[in-house]
Every structure is written in structure tokens, then in C-alpha cells.
Structure 1
């Protein structure tokens, strides 16, 4: 049975409210504040508030541009000052949460890719009276921490959907490329894929070093000629995997999780077969908007259940529908 999910509940409402899915900002670096009013539409007349968004984005990973753009558009609509920071190291990301509390922000949106490292500081934020929502990572842990809401994808279900699609495609053996060890969401993607497509082998690469990513995948493809699919867990790694396939003289096809501008073009050109899209723009938008609703209107989102924004498949047949 195909368990692919579409937008549910509040996320569906967000999809109506937002305009466009294009990414235009950079991720990482020093804290960046986004002033309200940049969205071009009506701005809420509620009191000014500040939201900190703290992700585990690695420098140069363009996936996070889409998350951030959604957050910026919601902030512009809601009269919110957005402070965006990121660090792929769990302990350092936790420190950013503590710093946001010290700055007395009105709300925190945070990814929980490494929940053990984040737990104490997230709970401290809640104890200090700062509302916290989670996005993108931490589906299995957000409730236990007392976080108000979660916006993202069930990575295990997304992996299962990928495995079902590989079976439908007639694949023989898949290499699942994990770019960050210890990331629970990435592990869940590969585990879900393997559950539905047992001929799946994991390989670890250093995601912050594309030279390492390319050489590691190339070496594996040269060693094992039976691999006919390379499944990457992020769009930038799919583009690098294409180089590895060529360098190795392999006939393997590349499929991926997540999208960026380059990956969308590669799907359109038939270089990448498909992508599993979790709609990161919606994740960023809903995270900020839900905090505004909570602080200014006393509202809650999701009814204690995760708001799922994916998975959805993007292929050559529908890629032009994405904005």
C-alpha cells in the first residue's frame, strides 16, 4: 500500500496562504534579522514580536534557503522580527537555543535532528515561558520535550515511499548515501527505504566536504557494479552523485530526497529520476506563523499531532508545477 502523505490540517491552510516556493536567501552565518513588511501584502497589526529560528543547517546547504524563505514570508506577514541562526553541531545548536532565551525572544522554532543534544536547552526554554515549536527533525521526540507543535515529514514513512517507488521502477540494488552521522532523520529515511526495498546498502559521507562525497560514492560504484540506483538524502548530494556516476563509468540512476533549483532542473532534464519533497517552505512558514498564532491569539496548531508536509514525489511529469 502506498503510504505517501499530502499536506494535512494547518499545513494545508498554509499552502493556501503562501505564494511561491522559490528560495532566495542564504543559510548559516551570523544571526540575521528580517523586518516585517517584506512580503508585499497586508501586515498584521498585532504588537511586534521576535522569533528565533535555529536549524542544524550546514553552510552552503541550499535546502535550508527554502525553509528560511518560508519563515521570512510568514514573519513579514505577522509583524515578526525573525532571527535566523544555524549550526550542524548538536551541542552548538543547543547553545543557540540558550542564547535566544537569554535575548528574551517571544518564540523559538527549532529543528531537533539531534534530540539528545537539544533536550535540556529546549526544556529550559519552555520552563522560562518561551513557546517552542519544532520543524524538519525530531518527529519522535518533540512531544516528550513538551514542544507545542511539529511541522515536517515522517522520515520513516518517506523512506518507505521511496522504497516502494524503487520497487516499482524495477531497481536491483540501491546505495543510500547518508551525509551526516548521528542524524536520526537521515537514518530513518534509509531504514524506511530498506524496509520496502531490502536490496539497499548504506554508505556514510562527509556532507560538509563535497570532494569527499564525490570520491566516496565514486569508489563504491567502481567496487560494486550491481548498484543501479544512488539514493541521496539531500539535493546538493544528488548533483554530486551525478558526477560520481559519470566518473565511475556506472549506469546507475540518481534519485533523491529534497529539492533545490539545480535538482529541479536536473529532474526536468531527465538526469535525476525523481525526488521525495517534504515542502520545506511550508515547514518554515508554518513554524513562524504558529508561534504568532500562539503568542498573539492564544491558538494552538495540530491538536497534539504532527503536521505532515510530505512526502510528495516530484518527477519530470510534474516538476514544472513547482514555483
Structure 2
């Protein structure tokens, strides 16, 4: 399945990220070897670490990284573990530490990666976060969606399509991941405003597409009263919509999810998914590189909100043709 890369449209809502003063190179103890490289005019080596390069969201991030590398005239390497493996991510970036002029990272685990980010910064290597933030670290800036707020938006959508009443199951491919915890926090906060809605459970599906579907199928058999499925990410959204379609539950079980995989777009068009939230993955990959390049060339940088794009049957056709 392909994840659609969507430019900003009227559906995009920009949400405020945590405010911080712009970060300047003059305030940062840049490593001498990186200073020398900048002075020599040699291409910079930027590494972009993603928390799971095997998932279906990763290619869109990679495309943005490649675009920025070409436009900014740098060497940008897209790296990361296969599967959500914090130790694997840490070992990889530590092995490459001496080659890096800058690191952009989407952490598998904020707790595990926070101290590592701060260690890289202390060594004079600029670090920004993207896609998944690590706000407890001293990272220089973040490019991506406010995950808690996007969860709130998903919760509001779920409440709207259920008319404020029903039983909801939350699905996620990795319930322990920080991005999942943040989104779920936002969802639950929003659903508290609808006392007629009960969250039955959070279902951890894993990442394999067949397993995702079977986990959803088994959970729905065990919880026949569920009237809403809220997916926290790209990959269990089509699984939920496909379950609705195969079981002739269109309109009876409502689905709200994230990202614009081709299958998700088709399920929104057919009415088996009520809403999908886009987070501009290609832009996230692009900005991850571009923030570091700007910083290393002396420009002040600040966090970038890539927005919340809300797509329903009413407006999905504008991207279905792309």
C-alpha cells in the first residue's frame, strides 16, 4: 500500500506547538570537526533516524528526506530499526555518531532516547526531532504534528460521527510507543467531553497487516457492542475499515483513523471509514533535514507544525485523484 503525500489544502488545521525561543548556532557549542567541514564548503552529512523503517508510513518520510537532500545539496541518510526497537535505534546512531554533522530523530521511546539526544548535543552535534517529539530532551526544534492535539481532534471526530454515544475501541500498532501514548492521551481527553461514549479497550495489533486484521476481528467478536473504532496510526486504519466492509457493518460501526494509505482513501470513499487525519509525512521528512541545514548555516530555527488534515467522504476526492 502507498501513503499519499498531500500538499496543504483547506482541510489542514495548524495547531500550536509548545513555544520556545528560536535556536541559534551562535548559542550552540558546535563540534570542531563540524565547524571545519562547514568552513571547507564540503557537503554536510545529515542522518535521519526513523523509529521503524519497515512500516508503511516510512516511504513518505524517506521521500521528503531525499527531496531536502537534493534541494539543500547535502548527504542525507534515512536510517532506523526494522520494528520498534529502541536498543536497535540507539546502537545504530551511536555507531554513526562520528560521521554525523546533524541528527534528526523520531524516537522509538522518549525515555530511552532522551538521554542519548542530550549526549549527542553535548558532543556538539545538532539534533532536531520530527514525527515523534522528545520534549524532555534538549533537542533544538521539532517538525511534525502535535500528537496529543491530533489525538484530541480524532476524539472529537469520533464523538461527532457517533452523535456523542456508543462504545469505542482504540487500535494501535504499538501501544507502548510514545507517539501512541500521546495520541491516546488526546483521544481520551476529548472523549471525556462525551459522557455517552465508553472506551471499551485499547487493542495492540502489532505491525503485520494480516495480524492487524485478525486482532481487530477477534476483538470485535469479543466486544459485539462496539460501535466505533478509533485507530491511532496509518496501519490499523485500513484493517478497521476492511473489517467493517467485510462484515456489512457500514454505517453501524464508525471508523476514524490516521494517514492516507491508498486503501484508507478508498475506504473513506466507500463510507467504511468516516474520517482520516493526515499529518504531512513528506513535509516532516523534508523539514527534518532542512532545519538542520539552516541551523548549521547560521539561521535561527524553531519548531514547525505540519498540521492536521481532516479528510471525510465529502472532501476525499480532492486527493484521491493525486
Does TM, normalized by the shorter one, top 0.5?
yes
Distance in 2 separating the partners of 1:204 and 1:263? 19
Distance in 2 separating the partners of 1:217 and 1:86? 28
Q: Is the 8 A contact 1:91 1:118 kept in 2?
A: no
DSSP-derived class of the 1:235 partner: coil
Instruction: Identify the residue that residue 312 of structure 1 maps to in structure 2.
Output: 309
Is 1:89–2:85 an aligned residue pair? yes
Is 1:50–2:45 an aligned residue pair? yes
Paired residues in the alignment total: 275
Distance in 2 separating the partners of 1:72 and 1:307? 19
Return closer, same or farther for 1:224/1:249 CA change in 2, 3 Å cut-off.
farther
Deviation at 1:177, TM superposition (A): 0.5
Instruction: Identify the residue that residue 154 of structure 2 maps to in structure 1.
Output: 162
DSSP-derived class of the 1:236 partner: coil
Give the TM-score normalised by the residue count of structure 2. 0.78
Q: Is the 8 A contact 1:52 1:82 kept in 2?
A: yes
Deviation at 1:114, TM superposition (A): 0.6
The structure whose Rg is larger is 2
Distance in 1 separating the partners of 2:15 and 2:156? 20
Instruction: Identify the residue that residue 34 of structure 2 maps to in structure 1.
Output: none
Return closer, same or farther for 1:285/1:8 CA change in 2, 3 Å cut-off.
farther
DSSP-derived class of the 1:173 partner: strand
Gap runs ≥5 in structure 2: 1-11, 18-40, 193-197
Is 1:260–2:261 an aligned residue pair? yes
Distance in 2 separating the partners of 1:167 and 1:254? 11
Pick from 63, 71, 79: which aligns with 2:65? 71
Q: Is the 8 A contact 1:63 1:259 kept in 2?
A: no
Segment of structure 1 superposing worse, 148-157 or 117-126: 117-126
Distance in 1 separating the partners of 2:44 and 2:241? 44
Distance in 1 separating the partners of 2:290 and 2:53? 24
Q: Is the 8 A contact 2:228 2:253 kept in 1?
A: yes
Return closer, same or farther for 1:206/1:220 CA change in 2, 3 Å cut-off.
closer
Pick from 177, 180, 189: which aligns with 1:195? 189
Segment of structure 1 superposing worse, 257-266 or 83-92: 257-266
Whose relative contact order is higher, 1 or 2, with alpha carbons under 8 Å and at least 6 apart? 2
Superposed CA deviations along residues 264-322 of structure 1, whole A, max 9, x for unmatched, are: 23223333211111111111111111111111x211221xxx42212221122222333
Is 1:299–2:299 an aligned residue pair? yes
Q: Is the 8 A contact 2:213 2:239 kept in 1?
A: yes
Q: Is the 8 A contact 1:227 1:252 kept in 2?
A: yes
Deviation at 1:248, TM superposition (A): 5.5
